[in-house]
Amino acid sequence: MIALVFGLCALLVFLVAYRGLSMMRSDPLDSLSEQDRALVRGPIQQQKADNGPISRLAVAISGEFEKILGSGYRNFMTRKIVESGKDDYASFSQFITTKTRLLLLGTAPALLVGGYFGYWLLALGILLALFFIPDIALWSKAAERQEKIEDDLPDFLDVLAVTVSAGLSFRGALERVIERSEGPLAEEMQLVLRQMDVGQSRAEAFADLRARTSSNSLDSFVVALMQSEELGSPLTEALNQIALDMRQVTAQRARQKASKANPKISAVVSLIMVPATMLLIGVAMFYSVDFADIFGKLRQ
């Protein structure tokens, strides 16, 4: 029975490798011009990547995983997908499909480890690791993107204030600053402008911006901007004050990170450096002391 399982796993690995190699070598876009190939290469490649047998099976059973994980997990991960900018996953369904695909790819190695070698606990650990790897990666990317937004916000507001003080309207100044900026903050502001272009009011567009991000600094900026618009206070002064507050928040966050780094360094030193030093001292004592002579004197 074990030999049969091993043979089926080897056959599955061979078929997946053969299918992947054939997909890598074939390119149906070679007959198109370079411009047309640049336009359709991304969607075609994504479709090719999702047409394999493992991908089709993952799409078929991913709906069951969505039901098992529940609505709470769905809402939480959907929030993380939005915070990450939807660079890797366009929706929660695509995210679950990726997790299911990883589980299916890891089933054969897990069966080999558990069935052939008998390490069923290790096999279970492999499957759990493959299942939660996309969660960890998505969580990390969302956190990095939100931190990048907070770091870029003070400089963005300074330039925006200077542009507004030069005589441009807020909308024109925002467009001018976005054209000369890059990063997640510029992407979010560009989305705000697009929403305003399709008919949303400024308050609604910036309210959606607050809903898409978890940055406290950006949330404070939107609140202060809306209050400035309602009260009629000068926009330049409001932007300068917001930028100053954001820099103070950034400096305070940097001090908090520095204070949290000290215990981590102490933990690393205690768990690694101290045992390694004691081991080194013990090895040196072992080779420097003649234990045979000591034991001979004790016997006498």
What pLDDT, in 10s, does the model give residues 200-245?
888 889 889 988 888 887 888 888 788 877 777 777 777 777 778 7
- Contact assessment for residue 92 and residue 84, using Cβ atoms and an 8 Å cutoff: no
Which pLDDT value is given to residue 45? 42
Tell whether 210 and 112 lie within a shared domain: no
Coil, strand or helix at 263: helix
Please report whether residue 75 resides in a domain.
yes
Rounded average pLDDT over 7-13: 58
Scanning the chain, the segments in alpha helix (DSSP H) are 2-25, 34-49, 53-83, 92-111, 120-165, 170-179, 184-197, 202-212, 216-231, 235-268, 274-288, 291-299
Tell whether 92 and 167 lie within a shared domain: no
CA angle 102, 105, 107 (to 5 degrees): 105
Spatial separation of the C-alpha atoms in residues 108 and 130, rounded to whole Å? 13
Which pLDDT value is given to residue 141? 92
The number of C-alpha atoms within 13 Å of 125 and in the hemisphere containing its C-beta is: 5
Please report whether residue 285 resides in a domain.
no
Tell whether 19 and 102 lie within a shared domain: yes
Sign of the Cα torsion 125, 131, 137, 139 reads negative
48-61: buried (b, 16+ CB within 10 Å) or exposed (e) per residue? eeeeeebbeebbee
Residues with Cβ < 8 Å from 124, sequence gap 6 or more?
110, 114
Tell whether 114 and 162 lie within a shared domain: no
Residues with Cβ < 8 Å from 66, sequence gap 6 or more?
74, 92, 93, 96
Tell whether 157 and 73 lie within a shared domain: no
Spatial separation of the C-alpha atoms in residues 170 and 167, rounded to whole Å? 9
Q: Which amino acid is at 240?
A: N
Tell whether 106 and 158 lie within a shared domain: no
Tell whether 101 and 192 lie within a shared domain: no
Please report whether residue 40 resides in a domain.
no
Least reliable range by pLDDT among 13-27, 79-93, 133-147: 13-27
- Contact assessment for residue 119 and residue 113, using Cβ atoms and an 8 Å cutoff: yes
pLDDT above 60 for 28: no
Please report whether residue 299 resides in a domain.
no
Please report whether residue 179 resides in a domain.
yes
Which CATH number covers residue 175? 1.20.81
pLDDT above 70 for 3: no
Tokens of 214: 């978890």
Spatial separation of the C-alpha atoms in residues 69 and 135, rounded to whole Å? 13
Please report whether residue 17 resides in a domain.
yes
Tell whether 10 and 103 lie within a shared domain: yes
Spatial separation of the C-alpha atoms in residues 121 and 118, rounded to whole Å? 9
Nearest C-alpha neighbor of 134 from the set 102, 106, 108, 104: 102
Please report whether residue 268 resides in a domain.
no
Tell whether 151 and 53 lie within a shared domain: no
| DSSP class per residue in 157-184 | HHHHHHHHHTT--HHHHHHHHHHT--SH
Least reliable range by pLDDT among 34-43, 132-141, 245-254: 34-43
Tell whether 176 and 246 lie within a shared domain: yes
Rounded average pLDDT over 152-156: 87
- Global pTM exceeds 0.75: no
Domain of 71? 2-25+45-118
Please report whether residue 39 resides in a domain.
no
Which pLDDT value is given to residue 40? 46
Count the domains in the chain. 2
Rounded average pLDDT over 29-54: 50
- Contact assessment for residue 209 and residue 188, using Cβ atoms and an 8 Å cutoff: yes
Band (pLDDT 50/70/90 cuts) for residue 145 is very high
pLDDT above 80 for 67: yes
